[in-house]
Amino acid sequence: MDRQEKIVSMFDEIAPTYDKANRVMSMGVDRSWRRKGCDKAFGFYNKPELDLIVDVACGTGDMMDYWRQRAAVKNISVKKILGVDPSEGMVGVGRQKFPDFDFAISKATELPVEANTADMLSISYGIRNVVEREEALREFNRVLKPGGMVVILEFMKNEHPSILGMIRDFYMTKVLPKIGGFISKNKEAYEYLPNSIEGFLTVEGMRGELEAAGFEPLFIQSFSMDISTLIIAKKA
């Protein structure tokens, strides 16, 4: 089993308790981060009608629901929202939660979407788990329309941590694995999280990879003691 398959298998195992663990560990503040990502992207795109929004690494479908809710608030018509994830366990939970949504089982590097057809593409706390990340970013560029938006929410590596950043790192490495492990009965999966952040990119590293894949970063902001970072970029 290669590294990507191991990550997918891990998410299959924790799928039944994933939503509960997420809410407890983030104390619910991820909701505001997701809302802001949708609102900012709609603002930059500034169109009343969209053909397609693709949510990659969609998990159990939460971000898809935020796209739907925020589009309704802003009176934006969206013809289709598609969730794509390689984990059958996660998508299975998503289909139960949102039976009216469209889901597909697929890797981030092989999206079942025609070129130049998506208005928006989001990936929330998932790009860190994509082993062939640069290939995935090129794939995101392929499916987006010219001027389309990619929205990334992620836990980024702290290159120069502040005092608040050190508190964040303590929470992520010492507290979070215990909470997630207790809820899911899979401590190993939640020890993976802080390790994967430490091995991931800084914000500037992510910006560079996006630019190399043909995107123009428009908005970058970190939230809640730099726990989470929102990046919005436009297909050039």
Q: How many CB atoms lie within 10 A of CB 99?
A: 7
Q: Output the DSSP codes for 57-82.
A: T-TTSHHHHHHHHHHHHTT-EEEEEE
Mapping DSSP to helix (H, G, I), strand (E, B) and coil, where does residue 126 land?
A: coil
Q: Are 202 and 156 in contact (CB under 8 A)?
A: yes
Residue 85, marked binder: yes
User: Which tokens hold the place of 183?
Assistant: 């809820």
Q: Which residue reads 């949504």 in tokens?
A: 101
Residue 124, marked binder: yes
Q: Are 82 and 113 in contact (CB under 8 A)?
A: yes
CA dihedral of 102, 105, 106, 111, whole degrees rounded to 10 = -20
Q: What is the DSSP letter of 174?
A: I
Q: Say how many CA atoms lie within 13 Å of 177 toward its Cβ.
A: 16
Q: Which residues are annotated as a binding site for S-adenosyl-L-methionine?
A: 60, 85, 124
Q: Which residues are annotated as a binding site?
A: 60, 85, 124
